[in-house]
Every structure is written in C-alpha cells, then in structure tokens.
Amino acid sequence: MLGGGELLRAGEVRLAAGESYTTPDVLFAWSDAGLDGIADRFHRRTRARRPRRRPQPLVLNTWEAVYFDHDLGRLTELVDRAARVGVERIVLDDGWFRGRRDDTAGLGDWQVETAVWPDGLDPFVSRVRAAGMEFGLWFEPEMVSLDSDLAREHPEWLLAPSAGVGTSFRNQYVLNVAHPDAYAYLLDAISALVERYGIDYIKWDHNRDLLEAVIRGGAAGDRPGVRRQTLALYALLDELHERHPALEIESCSAGGGRMDLGILDRTERVWTSDCNDPVERQQIQRWSEVLLPPELLGSHVGAARAHTTNRVTDLSFRLVTAAFAAPGIEWDITGCTEDEMVRLTQWAAFVKSRRDLLHGGVRVHADLADEQTLLHGTVSEDRTRALFAWVRLASSAGPQVARVTFPGLDRDRDYVVRVPDAFGPTAVHGREPAWLDQARRAGGFRVPGAVLASAGVTLPVLQPASGLVLELTAA
C-alpha cells in the first residue's frame, strides 16, 4: 500500500460546516529503466512545468570568500577577479543588513547597514554591472533574531508559543509569515531593495527547522502553524514574482533542507547543500538528482580545505564535481595563484560551452559493485554527445572491476572519446590504460558504442578524491 500527504498536527486544520480541505499534490513515478528512468521522468516534468528562459548563469557567491567581512575594497577585487574568470552573476551573501556583524543579531531588519555601507550597496552593484554581471542578494525572510528591531517592536510576529520562545537554533527564531502585518512588511522591504538595486536574484535562506511552530494566542489559544506558514511563504514568493517578473529566487534551506516540488513551482534553483566538500557532494548530488534536474542543483567550487569538513582536495576534483550540476564558485579567488586563475577560467569556458548538454541531457549512472567509485554522465537526447565523470571517493576494500560499461549510449554508433583539458591533471594510481593517452590527443580514441555499452573499457584506477571527465562525440 502506498500513500502520501501533508503531515498535519492536531488542530492544524479545523473545518466548519461546508468548508473543505485540499491536500498538496503527491506524485508517484514508475519506470522500467531503474532509478535513472524514474529521475528522467521527474526531470522532464520539472523542465516542462517551469522552462528556463535562458541558461543557468555561472555564479560566484561571497559567503565562503568573505563571510561577514563586508569590505568594499576586498569585495571589489573579488568582482574583478570573477569577471576575469567568466562569472555571470555575483551574489552578496549574509552580512549586508542592519546590525548584522555576526550571526547573533539583525535577522529581520532588512535595511542596508550604513555603518558598513555608508553609500548603500550602490558602489558594489555598480562595479558588478560594469563588469557585465548580474547582481544577487541573500535574505532569510522567515527567520528573526531576538536582537533585532523587528523582534523588539513586534514580538507578536514570532511563530512560537505564548509561554515563551524556547531555545534558539543558530541564534534565530521563526517569523510568522502568515501574520498579515509581518507578511506585508517582508513584501514591502524586499520589493524596495529589488527595485532600488535592480536585483536579479535572491538567495532565500531558511536555516532553522519549524520547531514549536505555533500561532500565538487568540480565542482558541495557541495552535500549530506550519501549514499556514507554508501557504503564506508560497503566496509571498508568488507575489514577488508578480511584482518583479524577471527576478529569480534560489531556495536555500541550510542547503538541501527544502527541495520539493512545491517550492520548485516558485523558485529557479536550490542550494543543494552547505557542505561544499566535493567528496561529500558527489553522493549528495547523486541522490538529489533523482528528483531534481542538475541545472537546479547549485554546486560551487570551494577552497582546497573544505569549510565544513576540513578535508583538502585537489582543484581538479572540485572542478569535476561542480561541473555536473549548476556550477559556481564559493572561494576567495583574490588569493588564487595565476595557475589557479587560468584553470578556473578554462573550466568556466568549458562548462558554459557545454551547458546545453549538461543542463538539457539525460542523466545516467553505471551500476558498480564498488561503492567508492562512480561513473555518472549526461547524454544528449539524440545520443550523439555525452559527458561522463569517472570518480573515486575513497580507497576500496577489493580490486577494481576490469571493465566498466557506459549507460545511455547508442550501441549502433561509434564514439570518439576525449579527455578535456579544462579540468587539469587527474591523480591516477599505477599504470594508465593505453587508450587514455590517445584520448588526450586531438584526434581522440574511437570505439564502437556496442563496446562501450556492453563490453565496457578498462578505466584508470584513480587516487581517492579524484575524478576524470570523458567527452564522447558520435563519429
């Protein structure tokens, strides 16, 4: 027996005589082509339901580059470097608004902090525009800091029990968006900033679970408020889109916390995870894309030492991982070496030139016995082009399989296999298979599709936390 529906708390929906309740949509999918077939059905539905007006831009987000240190000189240098790489959109993250010098205060006061930005955001936005890039801004509208003017002036707007707000999480509490005055405040405050700065993109964060999410007081006393909160959020997003038709919004719920079909009807991208470690990200992206097409899954090239895990990885592996989603950069590239800048620039040009394939093709995954190795790729609808990533996450207990087959290809075609140089060197353990050197040359390595799809080829044994990209073109 299968079922699905909304998880309602007692008393959350009360129907009077003649009233009705409409459940959220629940989708079931079936395929005779395994998980890849299931994913392809969801991807096609999502692409058809809200088709993109243009390619997903290459993003640079400032968070892991500067955190709360909003210095105009440093940010300006970051913009100039991003323009050199080929970035198409800059997103100014947390720390720009009133009272926000760390994560303990300010949420809810959505006005520019004049102590940090005495001339407003205009100088920064102007530099972004002059460099030919779009401008995005971070918000967390559904949350509030108790140390904020909003919370001090309107404690009745908190989504919390009348008896008290309880324990904070990340120094924040939930704002009752369903409260008409709170809703109006958010709509007007965000719209004013969108209009003033011509904001192209909002990173809409949501860093706390809705614990003790109850509407305060009233004749009936406290009552659960998650459903009303959700519907109010949808209405707010819809109204912002109606007021600003060109505005794009990313759903970022601490990364990966709100990635569902309801939010996707109202947003243009999701931040897949706050964990930017490419080893973790390979699996995170693999399972996220069962539901969402890769062009909606934000994936950024971070610093060598990951912000969340402290793991150190080579640049080539970070580039490989970000390429197979909605790629971006979240790294203080003002400190990059000249070699790193060149490699980022080559990578950016490559992923932008293959965007139609990466963000419009069919995602496929090989079935491998070794859980530490992955072969995943994107194949064009006509099966004339494909990009595959051969990845090793960690050391394996047993020997590598001698041959690996490539899913999704046309068995009746020949393919030319090439190794793009945009990702830099790959760390290989031991001797490489002979065909790999030929694949690095201009003419590539020609092989029948039936061999790739049925017999497979011997792939190199990679060092842990390494990846190799193979580009296949029908001969």
Q: Token pair for residue 120?
A: 């407003």
Query: H helices within 354-456, ranges in order?
Result: 355-358, 434-439, 449-450
Nearest Cα to Cα of residue 401 among 437, 367, 450: 367
Whether 238 is catalytic: no
Cα 278 from chain centroid?
13
Nearest Cα to Cα of residue 426 among 344, 327, 320: 320
How far, in Å, are 245, 286, 294, 315 from residue 389 at the CA level?
A: 36, 12, 14, 15
Catalytic residue among 36, 40, 109, 205: 205
DSSP secondary structure letter of residue 330: -
Cross-strand pairs, 417: 445, 472
**What is the side-by-side order of every strand in the sheet holding 373-379?**
362-365, 373-379, 385-392, 466-474, 414-418, 445-448
Beta pairing class for 223-224 and 248-252: unpaired
Catalytic residue among 147, 222, 265, 274: 274
Radius of gyration for the chain, computed over Cα atoms and rounded to the nearest angstrom:
24
Whether 205 is catalytic: yes
Q: CA quadruple 286, 289, 293, 299: dihedral positive or negative? A: negative
Q: Which residues are catalytic?
A: 205, 274
